[in-house]
Chains A and B, each alone.
Chain A
Amino acid sequence: MRYRLILGLSLAGLGVSAYLWSAKAGAAQLMCGPVGDCATVNSSPYSEVLGVPVAAWGACLYAFIALCSGARIFAPGWRAPSFAGFAAAVAGALFSLYLTALEAFVIHAYCAWCIVSWVIVTSIAALWGTTLWREGKRSSGRSDHPVHE
């Protein structure tokens, strides 16, 4: 159930990132709403990493997380995607936190879509972390009491 929720959140994040990416490329109109100043954030020098829009990095990250969570749903015994997906979510949450700090203290403008993405990726990281923690506790509990296996 939890991995299905992570998959849903990652697809939502992928949608947000793809929208910001297409707006950055000029293919879509950026609807910012009454909060923030998306145009300033999306056109700032901080909107790119190594010449690639941050939104494109975000789209790749969410696609990767979706693949990893999907792998856990369809192949529950395969542990490697859990490690990789959780690591990617932690990286995304920290980088998003850094970007939000830039918006607050350097760019002096907020992008509501970016904050939505930050909330999504942070939720994924927290959800995945607690899931792994529970799985770890459950498996160690089983090994402590092999009689009950």
Chain B
Amino acid sequence: MSKKGIVWAIAAGVLAALVLIAAQLSGVLGPRGGTVEARYWEGLPQAGMAIGDPNAPVLVEEYFDFQCPACQTASSQIVKPFIEQVVAQGKARFAYRLFPFLGPESVTAAKGAYCAAVQSKFWPFQHALFARRGTGNQGAYTESRLRTYAEEAGLDLDRFESCVASQEAALFASGSYERAVQLGIPGTPMFFVNGRPVQVRSLSDLVRAVEEASP
């Protein structure tokens, strides 16, 4: 190969690397260069892990585990657009139901979610947790990491830490697990529309189920 060929190969490699870096930064940074703030929950009525008009004709519930990869994908590809397009219009209310079955970090994340809900900050907190895409009890959802996410979500850290260590949080996590087991939830994510289990693989599946359940 000639020297010219080597120079072209280096130029192509540099260009490919720059394209990759730009593609990655466009996913991490917003259009103005700041971190993307997908605050889709703002302006909507929130109560604990539920969001939307309490008088909405349809209630959608999702049983999930923070460490479940399919739940992480569903949070961005199904739940977020569903809240933006359906819940925001008052057609349905959405509620997360925890099923912490994938190990100790799932339990810790569930306790953290409870303590964030106590401070009315569940929605920014769940967003911070899902963004980490932690799986397999590998350290993404340890208590020290949760403190960082709690700080990101704007929680009172002293209250959060004492809450995570409390008996109430432990009872919430174990109670959530037992309730899901009693309901016979086979895996996560598992959606219910007005109490009826629904197979949801995409946003359109969920929207269709809500339309069918609407009076």
- The answer to whether A135 and B13 have CB atoms under 8 Å apart is no
Q: A39-B139, A88-B13, A91-B17 are in contact. List 6 more A-B contacts (CB 8 A).
A: A26-B69, A40-B139, A45-B131, A86-B10, A87-B9, A91-B12
Task: Give the distance to chain B from A23, nearest Cβ to Cβ, in Å.
Answer: 7
Within 8 A of A (CB), among B130-152: 131-136, 138-140, 145
Task: Give the distance to chain B from A103, nearest Cβ to Cβ, in Å.
Answer: 14
Chain A residues within an 8 Å CB radius of B12: 87, 90-91
- The answer to whether A86 and B13 have CB atoms under 8 Å apart is yes
Q: Give the interface size class of chain B.
A: 20 to 34
Q: Which of B22-30, B161-169, B192-200 contacts A (4 or more CB under 8 A)?
A: B22-30
- The answer to whether B23 and A44 have CB atoms under 8 Å apart is no
Count contacts between A and B, CB distance < 8 Å: 112
* Contact (A43, B9) CB under 8 Å given A49-B20, A79-B1, A90-B17: no
- The answer to whether B132 and A49 have CB atoms under 8 Å apart is no
* Contact (A50, B132) CB under 8 Å given A83-B8, A86-B13, A90-B17: no
- The answer to whether B6 and A39 have CB atoms under 8 Å apart is no
Within 8 A of A (CB), among B21-72: 21, 23-24, 27-28, 67, 69
* Contact (A25, B13) CB under 8 Å given A49-B27, A86-B6, A135-B1: no
Choose one: A25, A37, A82, A133; the contact of B139 (CB below 8 Å): A37
> Which residues in B have some Cβ–Cβ distance to A below 8 Å?
1-3, 5-6, 8-10, 12-14, 16-17, 20-21, 23-24, 27-28, 67, 69, 131-136, 138-140, 145
Task: Give the distance to chain B from A17, nearest Cβ to Cβ, in Å.
Answer: 14
Choose one: B6, B24, B67; the contact of A133 (CB below 8 Å): B6
The 6 closest A-B pairs by CB, nearest first: A90-B13, A39-B139, A26-B135, A94-B17, A91-B16, A87-B12
